[in-house]
Amino acid sequence: MLHGPARHPARRGALRRGDGPGRLYCGECAAKRELEPDCPCAWERSLVRRLSELCGDISAGAEALESGLESLHRAADVTAESRAIRDGLLPRMDALRAAADEAERLTAAAYWPYPSYSELLYSV
């Protein structure tokens, strides 16, 4: 059984590739500096910083979720497994979802590596 990034090739590629939103905003900053060398690019820098933080949160959250899923196999019975899901997995899922939702809001659609909710709902 595969674990970690090898098990989830989409996550591995989306979180580590260099053509994502951070590169887009860094490119915008470089273009502004060509026109105005003293341009501070504070907005772009703060956005790239926040997206980087969120990518870290998403990666850590996915790993924590995988770890929690693997621990379910050690549950004594269905009741213990249900409690582990309620007390451990659901809060991890909520935290991961919050980070992913914020990253999606901050990222241009052309650079978001996953389908949006509307694409999932209306493309079927």
Contact between 120 and 79 (Cβ < 8 Å): no
| CA–CA dist 21, 51 (Å, integer) | 8
Please tell me which residue, 15 or 68, carries the higher pLDDT value: 68
Residue type, 20: G
| CA–CA dist 15, 100 (Å, integer) | 11
What pLDDT was estimated at residue 11? Answer: 45
Q: pLDDT digit string (tens) for 35-64? A: 787 878 888 889 889 999 999 999 999 999
| Residue 20 pLDDT exceeds 80 | no
